[in-house]
Structure 1
Amino acid sequence: MSERNASIDIAKGLGIILVVFGHNWIIAHDHGELFRIIFSFHMPLFFFLSGAVLHHDTAFRDFLAFKADALLKPFFVVLSVWGLARIALSGVDARSYLLGMLYATGNTIEWVPLWYLPHLFLAMLLAWLILRLANRLHAGLLLPVFCMAILLAAGIAFIHMLSQLDAQQFAGLNLWLGNHQGNFPGLPWNLDLIGISTAFVLLGYVMHEHVMHFRFQSWIFTMALLLFTALHFFFDETIDLNMRVYGNRWISTAQALLGIYLLLSVSTCLQYTGKLGKALAYLGASSLFIMIFHSWIEWKVFAILARWISFNYLNASLAFLAGLLLPLLLLSLVKKNKFLHALLLPARHIPKLRTGL
């Protein structure tokens, strides 16, 4: 099952647009309603899509090597190069920077969105182990579904428990890791989120055939949209995994599932729109690279424009375009250079694997 699916690439393209927009000044400066809507499903969507293309019928060593190459390599390369520059030019403390990078949570690294990469690595490995166990026990999808439910319930309960912790208890740890926000930094590699993320990965795997052959049904789409809107209107829960926020377990989970369904429905329709569909699919195929570089680019562009233009919404709109398009330009340059390709992109030929991102 190594074929690319256009609707999945389009879904990732729409998802990465939401990620870039979600980190934009327009959304981030007040964490208003748009923030709550986007964040209620955009990260569960990426875990879900990673599960939908997960292949567990390969040797663990090969799976481990590919995922490390695709996810961990760019994480450590980018943050190491950035860290050397920051240490040399800005006098950043080398020890706390290195420890924060190794700890690898959004609170301990300077390029916050990169927390997703090592955590997805862990979630994919755990999902692989569960699926392999199910295969050996001849349990079919029963064991993955059971583990999915248990992991999600435990993961949400754990996040709610962590939200009650006194941040002062972690002052020493935060100083050690360079976490200047003063809150609980999370467990290393965001292990405290592993239940939630792996649950959505497993859900994507369980729903693989439905996703690959997804059909738009107008009446279900309409009902899902009305329910999604009603839940936000009456309850307005959201999810921010990096900040350890997961609202009411039932409402937030329902909003996430409905958001995923709605975006898959839209993606299925957009694959027949010619150039627009192809452009979105290209964004989706490049989503990992955009994920890595978008935030620094759009906030740097926003800061530069703010020196000359006082209209923040215009600056933020231009910064959004820069955060979405400049990583694509950088990606095209990286692909043409063998050295940069080896540093930042997965190996060209990985047999018997459905690539995740």
Structure 2
Amino acid sequence: MQQRLLHIDVAKGISIFLVALFHSQFHYYFLTVIEPMSLVRMPLFFLLSGIFFSYTAAPTTFFWHKFDALLKPYFVVLLSVFVVNYADSNGGGITEFIGIFWGTGDSIVWGPMWFLTHLFALYCFVYLIFRYAHFGALPGYAQFSILACSMALGISTMTVFWYPDVVVFGATIRPPGLPFSLDILPVTAGFFVLGFLFKENLKTFKPSPGLLLLASVVLLVIVWQTDAHIDFNEREFRGATYAVVAAFCGIYVVLCLAWGLAQRKWLRAVPLIFGRASLYILIFHSPILKLTYPFLREHLSALLHPWVIAGMALALCLLIPVAIQRVVIRSNILKLAFVPLRENPLAERLRARPPFLRRKSNVRGS
């Protein structure tokens, strides 16, 4: 099974690399190349997330496992940042605190982490429609019709909740979307559910040269001839029809690339590392970029080309999170914050026999 799914991990690595690349200074130097990647970047992430979705677990178990895997590291990291900012008198106000629980990209200090809150909401929503609305029992044409209508409705209403004027007790507030980015759920659920419905095809994926050529041509034509653009975090979905077509074409191209890289050990090594450290890269790459690029530019601008400095900062924002992951997996204490409890031997031991019970047992036996 692991060998079959190498290309999925490689695809995850490519996806998280594109996220870091978009937030790096390369975005400004190569705007016309990197900006169109928005058509593929997040749709691919949501589709890949759907591959391993299952709704067989009981509700309490399912919701807890998703909270443990996604929201636990989110709250641990952002509440820790809040405490540090508060202690340094560099922010840490009530707006930042509330923003953590609102959970959108514009309400938190480390913006890319909005993906974790939304993915949690997405898992819960799809679980409910499959388990209780019996979406999986519908015929295929009905499923795809509902998904198409959901995506169309979501695209057309994407900006309705984006900084609206809301009057609360006589005061006007402008919230950045709905909590956990629920306002984009009809669109992201479309990509996620398609990943689930086609999971067997994706797990056993093999490229078709003809389809690869067609998808590449269509993607390039849309990029060159239209203003199609997708940015879920900023609620942008321009040229909706073209954008959706480009997203699926781009996803196919990336899957073909991932499959090709997965066939050679030396080619897949780096994207596999990134794919398996995607949580840590997602969490830490943005603050690392904000720290390293100005530092490197200040000290190396007289010696190196700006592109080289941008490349060094990009490399660091990918490699440092990988190093953080290596430290975490070697520490059962740190695992409590970042790794699901069921994968932590320390948590399992504590849950099976808490220390106070062990001491009590020893006293009785003496």
Q: TM-score, normalised by structure 1?
A: 0.88
After superposition, give the CA deviation of every residue in 1:109-155 in whole Å (9 maximum; x if it has no partner).
Answer: 00000011010111111111222246488325455433322221111
Equivalent residue for 1:206, pick from 190, 197, 220: 197
Query: Corresponding residue for 2:250?
Result: 259
Counterpart-to-counterpart distance in 2, 1:245 and 1:258: 19
1:149 aligned partner: 148
- Is the counterpart of residue 345 in structure 1 residue 339 in structure 2? yes
Distance, in Å, in 1 between the alignment partners of 2:135 and 2:220 is 42
Partner of 1:225: 216
Q: Between the two proteins, what is the percent identity of the paired residues?
A: 29
Which amino acid in structure 2 is aligned with residue 193 of structure 1?
I
Q: Per-residue CA shift, 1:150-169, capped at 9, x if unaligned?
A: 22111101115457x7x7x3
Counterpart check, 1:248 vs 2:239: yes
Given candidates 255, 267, 277, the residue that maps to 1:286 is 277
Distance 2:215 2:135 in 1: 37
After TM superposition, list the pairs within 5 Å mapping 1:129-168 onto structure 2: 129-133=128-132, 135=134, 138-139=137-138, 141-142=140-141, 144-161=143-160
Aligned with 2:115: secondary structure?
A: helix
Task: Please state if 1:10 is matched with 2:14.
Answer: no
Query: Which structure 1 segments of 5+ residues have no match?
Result: 178-182, 351-357
Shift of 1:33: 1.6
- Cα distance, 1:32 vs structure 2: 2.4
Q: Secondary structure at the match of 2:55?
A: coil
Q: How far apart, in 2, do the equivalents of 1:90 and 1:271 lie?
A: 48
- Give the structure 2 partner of residue 76 of structure 1: 75
Q: What is the Cα deviation at residue 279 of structure 1?
A: 2.9
Distance change >3 Å, CA 78–CA 93, structure 1 → 2: closer
Q: Secondary structure at the match of 1:57?
A: coil
Is the Cα contact below 8 Å between 2:4 and 2:203 reproduced in 1?
no
- Could you say what secondary structure the match of 2:341 adopts? coil
User: Contact 1:36 / 1:237 at 8 angstroms: preserved in 2?
Assistant: no
SS where residue 55 of structure 1 aligns? coil
Q: Distance in 2 between matches of 1:117 and 1:4?
A: 27
In 1, the alpha carbon distance for the partners of 2:122 and 2:234 equals: 18
Q: Which runs of structure 2 are paired with 1:75-154 in the superposition (5 Å)?
A: 75-133=74-132, 135=134, 138-139=137-138, 141-142=140-141, 144-154=143-153
CA contact (8 A) 2:161 2:176 kept: no
Q: 2:225 aligns with which of 219, 231, 234?
A: 234
Structure 1 residue 31: Cα displacement: 8.2
**Change beyond 3 A, Cα 1:137–1:249:** closer
Q: Which consecutive segments of 4 or more residues in structure 1 shift more than 6 A?
A: 1-4, 170-173
Letter paired with 2:315: L
**Greater radius of gyration (CA):** 2
Contact 1:7–1:267, Cα closer than 8 Å, also in 2: yes
User: Which of structures 1 and 2 has the larger relative contact order (alpha carbons within 8 angstroms, sep 6+)?
Assistant: 1
Tell me which amino acid in the other structure corresponds to 1:316.
Answer: A
Tell me how many residue pairs correspond in the alignment: 340
- Partner Cα separation in structure 1 for residue 132 and residue 117 of structure 2: 23
Where does structure 2 lack aligned partners over 5 or more consecutive residues? 345-366
Matches for 1:28-47 after TM superposition, within 5 Å: 29=28, 32-47=31-46
Task: Report how far residue 289 of structure 1 moved.
Answer: 1.3
Q: TM-score, normalised by structure 2?
A: 0.86
Question: Do the aligned partners of residues 107 and 136 (structure 1) sit closer, same or farther apart at CA in structure 2, a change above 3 Å counting?
Answer: closer
Say whether the 8 Å CA contact 2:328–2:335 is kept in structure 1.
yes
1:185, 1:348 → 2: CA distance? 34
The corresponding residue for 1:315 is 309
Q: What is the alpha-carbon distance in structure 1 between the residues aligned to residue 331 and residue 101 of structure 2? A: 28
Q: Structure 1 residue 334 and structure 2 residue 323: aligned? A: no
